[in-house]
Amino acid sequence: MTRQIAGETLIVPVRGGVGDLNSIYTLNQPGTMIWSLLSSGNSLAEILISICREYEVSEEEAEIDVREFLDSLLGAGLIASSSESGG
């Protein structure tokens, strides 16, 4: 479950039909943008282009940061890898 409150994005994992309030994640502005792009079905390449344009960073820097962020989401169980989801 995702909510935006006071300019921040909060993610509350739902496990077994119940929100896990002990595992609330707060996303900063770039994290919120990546989360939104993921939710819209964008590919990694599309996410990188968007991040480069929005934050005026090199593609290499964006890729390092985006991959690190995606790894943290994966480790927290908030997303599944494309190989796990069949894509």
Structural domain contains residue 15: yes
19-59 confidence digits (pLDDT tens)? 555 677 888 899 999 999 999 999 999 999 999 999 999 99
Q: Are 55 and 38 in contact (CB under 8 A)?
A: no
Residue 47 CA to residue 81 CA, distance in Å, equals 15
Structural domain contains residue 11: yes
Task: Give the CATH number for residue 39.
Answer: 1.10.10
Phi, psi of 27 (to 5 degrees): -105, 140
Q: Which residue has the tokens 């344009």?
A: 53
Residue 44 CA to residue 25 CA, distance in Å, equals 22
The residue range of the domain holding 58 is: 2-75
The identity of residue 10, as a single letter, is L
Structural domain contains residue 83: no
Domains in the chain, number: 1
Structural domain contains residue 13: yes
> How confident is the model at residue 50, as a pLDDT?
97
Structural domain contains residue 82: no
pTM of the shown model: 0.77
Q: Are 63 and 42 in contact (CB under 8 A)?
A: no
Q: Predicted confidence band at 8 (pLDDT cuts at 50, 70, 90)?
A: confident
